[in-house]
A and B are shown apart, each in its own frame.
Chain A
Amino acid sequence: MAPRIGVVTFPGSLDDHDALRAVGLCGAEPVSLWHGSDSVAGVDAVILPGGFSYGDYLRCGAIAAFAPVMTEVIAAAEAGMPVLGICNGFQVLCEAQLLPGALIRNERQTFVCRDQRLRVASVDTAWTSALTLGQEITLVLKNGEGRYVADADTLDRLEGEGRVVFRYLDNPNGSLSDIAGVCNRRGNVVGLMPHPEHNVEALTSPSLDGRALFESVLDFLTARV
């Protein structure tokens, strides 16, 4: 039986739809999860999708981090379940303190949508094992608040523990150390600003590089079974 991957819909989520499609295209069973639910319906992995949860009011991801479903997601993540936060989902993971640091307004004060080149900086995670270290990939990037910041100690720790997962090749937003994505110590929780779910179909994407993330977690889940 194909692994079941849940995608949470918060009020204001936008790319939930695309994440569900990407999950299906890559061979897993997509499961839609509702923010107000107090269970994750027995899924094997969870994706927190992009969008503007709660309008991105207050701070991106801040209000969604307290959604009822997040209690379960946090518990599952701490128990080792693969969790991927994409864009707004990354912001939610930081606000929920499953990942360190924060995402603030882009250096160039505007929203930016572009095809972004990245370097894979870690393949030791549940979501990147199908990539190769140092590989250059292109993913869709689109956000207004994607600038990764953390204090110096945290950055040192991330670098020292190999927890920077993706780096920008031409830093679009002023992120510290060109960081586009990071993971938790165990490598099961990954957050990134670019949108792998938009890079799974030739018809609508500039590349198919997003597939590797979904294939990675499928490998991870099937190997574990």
Chain B
Amino acid sequence: MADTVKNAARTLDQPQPWAELGLKEDEYLRIRDILGRRPTAAELAMYSVMWSEHCSYKSSKVHLRKFGELTQETPVGKMLAGIGENAGVIDVGQGYAVTFKVESHNHPSYVEPYQGAATGVGGIVRDILAMGARPVAVLDPLRFGPLDAPDTARVLPGVVAGVGGYGNCLGLPNVGGEVVFDPSYAGNPLVNALCVGVLRHEDLHLAKATGAGNLVILYGAATGGDGIGGVSVLASETFDAASDGSASGLGGPAKRPSVQVGDPFMEKLLIECTLEIFAARIVSGIQDLGGAGLSCATSELASAGDGGMHVNLDQVPLRDSTLSPEEILMSESQERMMAVVEPEHVEQFLRICAKWDVLATVIGEVTDGDRLTIDWHGETVVDVPPRTVAHDGPVYQRPYARPARQDRIQADGVDVLPRPVGGEELAATVLRLVASPNLCDKSWVTDQYDRYVRGNSVLAQPEDAGMLRIDPDTGLGVAVSTDGNGRFAYLDPYAGAQLSLAEAYRNVAVSGAQPVAITDCLNFGSPEDPDVMWQFSETVEGLVGGCRELGIPVTGGNVSFYNQTGETAILPTPVVGVLGVIDDVSHRTSVGFRRAGEEVFLLGDTRDELAGSVWADVVHAHLGGRPPVLDLDHERRLAELLVRGAGRGLFSSAHDLADGGLIQALVEASLRHGVGVRVDLGVADPFVALFSESTGRVVVSLPADRVPELIELAEAARVPVRRLGVTGDDVLEVEGQFTLPLSEIRAAWQAPIPAAMAAAGH
């Protein structure tokens, strides 16, 4: 017998398992207060899952609000939907809009790497689809423990196969991402996924249930017992204890989230079916089902609308007939969507679903009142004000404070670390760094992703940004890059966030696109740790300040807390995705030197900035000091120069400098097409010139006769410019220091990941 509303009103004092569901006592009391009685089991399930950290953002909300103070305009147009929607949407001109968002699926990917990563891609794609857009590309910023750690050999291949298995099967080109290794991610891999979608302005859809009498249709996969309780558990404080407990066979009841299995084929049908439904203009509101499943979709749709909603849970198609109503409400079965449809369009809606072999069922309707009511076997099991479930969850002002250790970390600089001296030592350092996990070739990963499907990938990995053609006639396109540097963020979270922002911004500009907006995924340890909360708060401040100075909005994002093993949190890891717009994709710039005999220039200044660098990490296993100094005004002017230059077809190549500094950029630009380079560092300290990670720098190559144009543009933009040398031959030569054959560099650069994976049998 289900626990009905009537029953609840009669048995006010019946004890309830609110603590097991992750609620705090005061939260439970608030639910009783809202309802004026105890919640039914189904209501308790809904509140607990919707008020979890993952769904309610209860620890981050007060900070994230600051994003709302930023401009809601981009440099090229309006934001058509912003934070709070499934994903932000921006006007990119010519009647087109673009939506993009990054999300995390960290914990599930640790438990079951393949399915965790696969369903992570599936989830973000549905968010994009729900805005009315056709998903057109994905990017996957990934972070793992050390490359040679045994668990990395389990997690990495599974995650990569999962990202590829799902994304490839959907026909979405993968056009970028990151692969980063650090010991802090050993028990907490970060699997973030970004999806980009394109729509016409008039196709924008919002998640709201309006118009009494309109019908609520659930369509897509049948509902099973997948991930029941997943949402509250996966992002709650119990995760660590639970997974440790079950792994070692100790401890109480295993609270490990039951794993969700993805069906990308179903999702592909869901995409095509949904787009056809949009084109027929027969939906008045739509929502994807992600975390918290039906609990989330019904309460969010209803609270965004102008009335209430009534649902008959008996109508929900089940894969497992033994599920209880609260389990149905919490199930996170994948590949489902919910639409609100006017009665006269229902038949056509169902016909389109049938064409695509997609199961669709009317499960309820929009009502006049302001309640969300749900029936089961003829009795009411849920009767709540939907807003209280979806939006009026708890909000915490978590204590935060700058950790005492921060001064120590910053004081522990790199000046005392021995540096290589002379050509031979420098050359040896180059070979060592290119063969380090964070700088080496990532094609073992990226070759498992389809980057060609749909025929619009103008740039993809290993370029600095992915670029997609949107309109084949005008050449309008967008570029996207994601970046994050947890090491810099550890040294100074405020600066670290801005450095990640600046890097992604620069990567987009390097491709020739004008950066216009960001999305972000904030991966942190426990919000209950004041040190972590301070890192978080500084990060948000950093992003807000950075975006304000660059004049671009935050369109949305995601927060992932509790990424920690025991007491040890991961490096604070804000991943920033920047979107750019380019009027004509044929003007794109790519990273590789194209032909011999071209002039090579460095834009931006180099300082002695090696704290947090790859060199300090690889050679000295050192992390301390202060990160590079950032000048956002310079970044803006640099971007302007790059976009302008690209528009005139000035550059043969352009590549931003980031991890590994100048030498790494030269290595990558040379290896791309096998065209070497000879550079003269002048009077600069060669070690600093080659390995410093000063920000705001780009290497460009161009034909000799166009150098005056570059100088003129650089002067106008007040960007320092310095000639480095000339392209050619199959060597990388630093005059007066060393000459390395590209073949030798390439061999060292390509080896690490294949070797590590082969050793583990992959």
Q: Which residues of A contact B (CB under 8 A)?
A: 11-12, 14-15, 17-18, 21, 50-52, 54-57, 109-114, 140, 142, 195, 197-198, 201, 203-205
Closest to B264 in A: A55
Output the least CB separation between B592 and chain A (Å).
12
> Is the pair B452, A54 in contact by a Cβ cutoff of 8 Å?
no
Q: Is B208 an interface residue (CB 8 A)?
A: no
Known pairs A11-B269, A198-B452; A111 contacts B458 (CB<8 A): no
Known pairs A113-B450, A203-B586; A55 contacts B265 (CB<8 A): yes
Within 8 A of A (CB), among B456-515: 456-458, 469
> Is the pair A204, B469 in contact by a Cβ cutoff of 8 Å?
yes
Output the least CB separation between A58 and chain B (Å).
11
> Is the pair A54, B265 in contact by a Cβ cutoff of 8 Å?
yes
Task: For the complex, give the distance between the alpha carbons of A21 and B455 in Å.
Answer: 9
Beyond A18-B455, A204-B457, list 15 extra A-B contacts (CB 8 Å): A11-B356, A14-B268, A15-B453, A21-B455, A51-B171, A56-B169, A56-B265, A110-B448, A113-B451, A142-B450, A142-B453, A204-B452, A204-B455, A204-B456, A205-B452
Within 8 A of A (CB), among B579-628: 585-586
> Is the pair A113, B447 in contact by a Cβ cutoff of 8 Å?
yes
Output the least CB separation between A204 and chain B (Å).
6
Task: For the complex, give the distance between the alpha carbons of A45 and B356 in Å.
Answer: 25
Task: For the complex, give the distance between the alpha carbons of A11 and B161 in Å.
Answer: 22
Measured between beta carbons, the chain B residues less than 8 angstroms from A15 are 171, 453
Instruction: Give the interface residue-count category, chain B.
Output: 20 to 34
Measured between beta carbons, the chain A residues less than 8 angstroms from B446 are 113
Q: Is B165 an interface residue (CB 8 A)?
A: yes
Measured between beta carbons, the chain A residues less than 8 angstroms from B356 are 11
Measured between beta carbons, the chain B residues less than 8 angstroms from A205 are 452
Measured between beta carbons, the chain A residues less than 8 angstroms from B585 are 203
8 A-B contact pairs sorted by A residue (CB < 8 Å): A11-B265, A11-B269, A21-B455, A52-B268, A113-B446, A142-B452, A195-B452, A204-B469
> Is the pair B448, A111 in contact by a Cβ cutoff of 8 Å?
yes
Closest to B449 in A: A113
Q: Is B40 an interface residue (CB 8 A)?
A: no
Task: For the complex, give the distance between the alpha carbons of A21 and B472 in Å.
Answer: 11
Task: For the complex, give the distance between the alpha carbons of A11 and B454 in Å.
Answer: 16
Q: Which listed residue, B448, B455, B456, B469, touches A112 by the CB 8 Å rule?
A: B448
Q: Is B3 an interface residue (CB 8 A)?
A: no
Task: For the complex, give the distance between the alpha carbons of A198 and B452 in Å.
Answer: 7
Output the least CB separation between B236 and chain A (Å).
33
> Is the pair B455, A52 in contact by a Cβ cutoff of 8 Å?
no
Output the least CB separation between A74 and chain B (Å).
23
Measured between beta carbons, the chain B residues less than 8 angstroms from A109 are 762
Output the least CB separation between B564 and chain A (Å).
31
Within 8 A of A (CB), among B226-263: 263
> Is the pair B169, A204 in contact by a Cβ cutoff of 8 Å?
no
Measured between beta carbons, the chain B residues less than 8 angstroms from A197 are 455
> Is the pair B265, A201 in contact by a Cβ cutoff of 8 Å?
no
> Is the pair A203, B469 in contact by a Cβ cutoff of 8 Å?
yes
Output the least CB separation between A126 and chain B (Å).
24
Task: For the complex, give the distance between the alpha carbons of A112 and B269 in Å.
Answer: 24
Measured between beta carbons, the chain B residues less than 8 angstroms from A203 are 458, 469, 585-586
Closest to B472 in A: A21
> Is the pair B265, A57 in contact by a Cβ cutoff of 8 Å?
yes
Measured between beta carbons, the chain A residues less than 8 angstroms from B108 are none
Task: For the complex, give the distance between the alpha carbons of A197 and B161 in Å.
Answer: 25
Closest to A14 in B: B171
Task: For the complex, give the distance between the alpha carbons of A17 and B469 in Å.
Answer: 14
> Is the pair B165, A55 in contact by a Cβ cutoff of 8 Å?
no
Q: Is B168 an interface residue (CB 8 A)?
A: yes
Measured between beta carbons, the chain A residues less than 8 angstroms from B357 are 11
Task: For the complex, give the distance between the alpha carbons of A13 and B445 in Å.
Answer: 24
> Is the pair A52, B168 in contact by a Cβ cutoff of 8 Å?
yes
Closest to B761 in A: A109
Measured between beta carbons, the chain A residues less than 8 angstroms from B469 are 203-204
Measured between beta carbons, the chain A residues less than 8 angstroms from B586 are 203
Output the least CB separation between B456 and chain A (Å).
7
Task: For the complex, give the distance between the alpha carbons of A197 and B455 in Å.
Answer: 9
Measured between beta carbons, the chain A residues less than 8 angstroms from B224 are none
Task: For the complex, give the distance between the alpha carbons of A198 and B454 in Å.
Answer: 9
> Is the pair B268, A12 in contact by a Cβ cutoff of 8 Å?
yes
Known pairs A110-B161, A112-B448; A52 contacts B453 (CB<8 A): no
Measured between beta carbons, the chain B residues less than 8 angstroms from A18 are 452-455
Measured between beta carbons, the chain B residues less than 8 angstroms from A52 are 168-169, 264-265, 268
Output the least CB separation between B186 and chain A (Å).
23
Measured between beta carbons, the chain B residues less than 8 angstroms from A112 are 447-448
Measured between beta carbons, the chain A residues less than 8 angstroms from B169 are 12, 14, 52, 55-56
Q: Is B660 an interface residue (CB 8 A)?
A: no
Closest to B169 in A: A52
Output the least CB separation between A173 and chain B (Å).
12
Measured between beta carbons, the chain B residues less than 8 angstroms from A55 are 169, 263-266, 268
Task: For the complex, give the distance between the alpha carbons of A140 and B269 in Å.
Answer: 25
Task: For the complex, give the distance between the alpha carbons of A114 and B447 in Å.
Answer: 6
Closest to A55 in B: B265
Q: Is B574 an interface residue (CB 8 A)?
A: no
Measured between beta carbons, the chain A residues less than 8 angstroms from B455 are 17-18, 21, 197-198, 201, 204
Task: For the complex, give the distance between the alpha carbons of A101 and B747 in Å.
Answer: 37
Measured between beta carbons, the chain A residues less than 8 angstroms from B452 are 18, 113, 140, 142, 195, 198, 204-205
Measured between beta carbons, the chain B residues less than 8 angstroms from A142 are 168, 450, 452-453
Measured between beta carbons, the chain A residues less than 8 angstroms from B170 are 14
Measured between beta carbons, the chain B residues less than 8 angstroms from A11 are 265, 268-269, 356-357
Q: Is B113 an interface residue (CB 8 A)?
A: no
Closest to B453 in A: A14
Measured between beta carbons, the chain A residues less than 8 angstroms from B171 are 14-15, 51
